[in-house]
Amino acid sequence: MPTSLAWFYHQTETAYALVMGQQTTPDPANLQEDNVLVAIEAVSLNYRDLIAWKNLAGRQVSGRVPASDGAGTVVAVGRAVQQWKPGDRVAGCFFPRWQSGPFDLSNHQYDLGGNLDGMLRQHAVMHEDAWVRIPSHMKTLEASTLPCAALTAWYSLVSRGGLRQGQTVLVLGTGGVSIFALQIAKRMGARVVITSSDDRKLERARSLGADHTVNYKTHPQWSEQVWKWTEGRGVDHVVEVGGPGTLEQSMRSVAGSGHIALIGVLTGFGAPSTSLFPLLARNVTLNGIYVGPRDEFVRMNRFFEDHEVVPVIDRVFSMDDVPDAFAYLASGQHFGKVVIQVA
Ligand SMILES: NC(=O)c1ccc[n+]([C@@H]2O[C@H](COP(=O)([O-])OP(=O)(O)OC[C@H]3O[C@@H](n4cnc5c(N)ncnc54)[C@H](OP(=O)(O)O)[C@@H]3O)[C@@H](O)[C@H]2O)c1
């Protein structure tokens, strides 16, 4: 039986180690009739992969292939598959079964790199509806960044938030979700304020179109800067990736009838130590976000094509250096995305 390379989570006493191994290569001639075999070329990492690796949320992932986000080229298709052919360039869907419409809790049983094997392997087989076409202007490597971070930013701001031209958006930090949020918001004609712990990263954000920047380390009460920038009105949308440690400043930054997309846990899973009353007083819409469905992924890719959005990749690691790639993401030095070249 031919085999191909894959990485696996291996349980240790307190967390998981990353271990390289082999998987049986799927036989192209024996695919299930609605399945598609893809040669994975690149994988991108998300903070969520650190959560699994460091066991921050108590998830059981022992033996699983890590990473939700991968892109590659179709090698073979089952006999009933209509929409793909060998040679097509595709990216996988974070939730392979969430095709459209509202989120159903059953999707949590089928998340890549969590309950299902992820993409850190040379070959992946999934149902034909679990893949989307890569925007034509993007390299496959670039498209590996789309399934989680980009779709989360799009689903937050556009699908659920109804972002309109001329509105204001607050983006926290310069990680994967946040830089996509900046790029999308600028292409939609919004004005963007972004925070970071690093002035050099803020400079880079300005070169991507950020209208205003705030260093959240030197300005711990950063909502005051946001408030001044909006001339005492507040922002229309907050891309809230911080969680309990940033929510107070986010609530102080949002406008009346504004929108907070609650996305992340960069400051942990605990409870915020602040009153939630500003949400009521400001008539805020609070949207809990967990990535997004496939039809919004397709819509986003069309928008990216029309507006020539190119993902910002900070650094590319080789398939041999996966633990270094995880450690680099954990160090927080990156701006945008960290990618692993699989093939
Ligand atoms: N709900 C969902 O669907 C969904 C999807 C994707 C991600 N997420 C969550 O969203 C968060 C971001 O994910 P990601 O993959 O984009 O992470 P990432 O790329 O690892 O982003 C890390 C960056 O976040 C910034 N950061 C860290 N602590 C911060 C703080 N207290 N205030 C402001 N910024 C801070 C830092 O930027 P600077 O270096 O510029 O300071 C850091 O470099 C994570 O919690 C992740 O689990 C949720």
Mean pLDDT split into 10-residue runs, the chain, 343 residues? 95 97 95 98 98 96 98 98 98 98 98 98 98 98 98 98 98 98 98 98 98 98 98 98 98 98 97 96 98 98 98 98 98 98 96
Residue 295 lies inside a defined structural domain of this protein: no
Residue 298 lies inside a defined structural domain of this protein: no
User: Residue 4: its pLDDT value, please?
Assistant: 95
CATH number of the domain that 337 lies in? 3.90.180.10
Tell me 195's DSSP state.
E
- What's the number of domains the chain is made of? 2
Are 139 and 258 within one domain?
no
CATH number of the domain that 255 lies in? 3.40.50.720
Neighbours of 115 (CB within 10 A): 14
User: Residue 280: its pLDDT value, please?
Assistant: 98
Q: Whose CA is nearest to atom 10 of ligand 1?
A: 264
Q: Is 194 in the pocket of ligand 1 (CB under 6 A)?
A: no
Residue 296 lies inside a defined structural domain of this protein: no
Are 139 and 167 within one domain?
no
Q: Whose CA is nearest to atom 36 of ligand 1?
A: 173
Are 139 and 266 within one domain?
no
Q: How far is the CA of 270 from the centre of ligand 1 (A)?
A: 16
CA geometry: angle 230, 234, 235, nearest 5 deg: 90
The residue type of 229 is W
Q: Is 110 in the pocket of ligand 1 (CB under 6 A)?
A: no
Q: How far is the CA of 44 from the centre of ligand 1 (A)?
A: 14
Q: Residue 316's domain spans which residues?
A: 3-145+311-341
The residue type of 231 is E
The domain boundary residue, chosen from 257, 273, 288: 288
Are 156 and 140 within one domain?
no
Q: Is 204 in the pocket of ligand 1 (CB under 6 A)?
A: no
Residue 268 lies inside a defined structural domain of this protein: yes
Are 83 and 199 within one domain?
no
User: Residue 129: its pLDDT value, please?
Assistant: 98
User: Residue 272: its pLDDT value, please?
Assistant: 94
Q: How far is the CA of 264 from the centre of ligand 1 (A)?
A: 7
Are 258 and 197 within one domain?
yes
Tell me 291's DSSP state.
-
Helices (H), 73-171: 140-143, 151-154
Q: How far is the CA of 74 from the centre of ligand 1 (A)?
A: 31
User: Residue 264: its pLDDT value, please?
Assistant: 97
User: Under a CB-based contact definition with an 8 Å cutoff, are residues 289 and 160 in contact?
Assistant: yes
**Cα torsion angle, 134, 138, 144, 146, sign:** negative
The domain boundary residue, chosen from 254, 273, 288: 288
Are 254 and 317 within one domain?
no
Distance between CA 199 and CA 105 in Å, rounded? 40
Residue 12 lies inside a defined structural domain of this protein: yes
Q: Is 230 in the pocket of ligand 1 (CB under 6 A)?
A: no
Are 233 and 100 within one domain?
no
Are 139 and 183 within one domain?
no
Distance between CA 140 and CA 311 in Å, rounded? 11
User: Under a CB-based contact definition with an 8 Å cutoff, are residues 219 and 227 in contact?
Assistant: no
Q: Is 244 in the pocket of ligand 1 (CB under 6 A)?
A: no
Residue 9 lies inside a defined structural domain of this protein: yes
Are 125 and 55 within one domain?
yes
User: Residue 1: its pLDDT value, please?
Assistant: 84
Are 63 and 136 within one domain?
yes
Its pTM surpasses 0.95: yes
Are 214 and 256 within one domain?
yes
User: Under a CB-based contact definition with an 8 Å cutoff, are residues 135 and 285 in contact?
Assistant: no
Which of 43, 44, 45, 47 has most ligand 1 atoms within 8 Å of CB, for mutation?
A: 47
